Amino acid sequence: MQTVISPIDEQSLERAKNIISSGGLVAFPTETVYGLGADALNEEAVRLIYATKGRPSDNPLIVHVHKDFDITRLVCDIPGYARLLAEAFLPGPLTMVYKSRGVVCPAVSCGLDTLAVRVPSHDGAQRFLSYLDIPVAAPSANVSKHVSPVTARHVYDDLNGKIQLILDGGKCAGGIESTVLDCTGKVPCILRSGLITRDMVAQVAGECDEYHMAAGEKVRSPGMKYKHYSPRCKTALFKYEDRFLALDRYRECTAQGSRAVIMCDDAVAADMEDARILSLGSSESDIASNLYDKLREGEKIADIIIAVAPLKQDGVMVGVMNRLTKACG
């Protein structure tokens, strides 16, 4: 199968619609990472997502809808706080989990009685969803366990020959996947951290819990139990306080003839003397936005990525640290 990368225009949207309505998959941009979309009402098409990514069949998918889509067609029991949150943050990088009406096919939620719904803000995603006018099930458009894609080229590198069309909407500005928020309880609960932080949710909803899996408990967000986001080279992760140990490690690796690179923010980079640096930038949003791009660059140019955590660990950095730990820890 030939994989085409196309800018988003009338012609490529028409092609996308034809592919999706005949049960195929189309990759599309969002403000977080690229998604691999299929018709959420077509069981075969949804199964094809799992097969194409090599995704475990117990890790449920998010359904993406256009901003004018009436989500009460898909879910019920929407609590008051969820309406406030939707008003405050949607369209945007917040996925909300509700009780499902069972309208989308069971493979989307892996048999759970809940459904994760997301309204992406990326203009290309909105155009795609409006053109199709159906709920689109989509995970990140990478091979399972690899780093999520933030450019059309990243999608191509993982899925070339496996899908027909990649809609190119440029580099994703957000850079890490959406916050997943369980809205089935009295208080909203973060299942996966992201750009919409716990404080931001709490400010609108009054309170916000954060889920941590207890030993022996049945996991509430199945995706969280898998190793994720791994680059295809060796990795090491150092705390901010241990940044000079990271520099020692870099020198050791280099002395042994291994191609090493240090991935860190600009504040840390200032202490790294003449080491080869993959810079994440300096602001929180830059660090999130550059993380996957730099991990993918690193695996191409180095035998080992030596990551150093930023000093700041709260807010958006909770989501960044979660990915960094899974990628390099």
Interface residues toward ligand TXA, by CB under 6 A = 30, 32-33, 35, 59-62, 95, 97, 109, 112, 114-116, 118, 120, 138-140, 177-178, 180, 191-192, 221-224
Identify whether the C-beta of residue 269 lies closer than 8 Å to the C-beta of residue 261.
Answer: no
* Gap between the Cα atoms of 212 and 57, Å rounded: 22
**Which of ligand TXA, Mg ion, none does residue 117 bind (CB under 5 to 8 Å by kind)?**
none
Identify whether the C-beta of residue 175 lies closer than 8 Å to the C-beta of residue 288.
Answer: yes
**Which of ligand TXA, Mg ion, none does residue 231 bind (CB under 5 to 8 Å by kind)?**
none
Per rule CB under 5 A, is residue 140 in the interface with Mg ion?
yes
**CA proximity to 162, closest of 27, 296, 22:** 27
Rounded to a whole number of angstroms, the minimum distance from the CB of residue 278 to ligand TXA is 23
Q: Pattern 213-232, binding to Mg ion, x per CB under 5 A?
A: --------------------
**Which of ligand TXA, Mg ion, none does residue 109 bind (CB under 5 to 8 Å by kind)?**
ligand TXA
Rounded to a whole number of angstroms, the minimum distance from the CB of residue 182 to ligand TXA is 7
**CA proximity to 171, closest of 159, 158, 154:** 154
**Which of ligand TXA, Mg ion, none does residue 35 bind (CB under 5 to 8 Å by kind)?**
ligand TXA
**CA proximity to 291, closest of 175, 209, 120:** 175
Rounded to a whole number of angstroms, the minimum distance from the CB of residue 40 to Mg ion is 17
Rounded to a whole number of angstroms, the minimum distance from the CB of residue 140 to ligand TXA is 4
Residues 6 or more apart whose Cβ sits within 8 Å of residue 81: 183, 187, 188, 204, 205, 206
| Beta bridge partner(s), residue 118 | 64, 95
The residue among 84 and 112 lying less far from ligand TXA, judged by its C-beta, is 112
The residue among 288 and 308 lying less far from Mg ion, judged by its C-beta, is 288
**CA proximity to 36, closest of 319, 44, 48, 291:** 48
Which SS3 state, helix, strand or coil, does residue 97 take? strand
223: phi > 0 → left, psi -120 to 50 → alpha, else beta; which? alpha
Residues 6 or more apart whose Cβ sits within 8 Å of residue 57: 50, 107, 110
**Which of ligand TXA, Mg ion, none does residue 53 bind (CB under 5 to 8 Å by kind)?**
none
Stretch that binds Mg ion, among 42-50, 137-145, 244-252, 268-276 (CB under 5 A): 137-145
Per rule CB under 5 A, is residue 322 in the interface with Mg ion?
no
Closest residue to Mg ion using C-beta atoms: 140
Q: Which residues bind Mg ion (CB under 5 A)?
A: 140
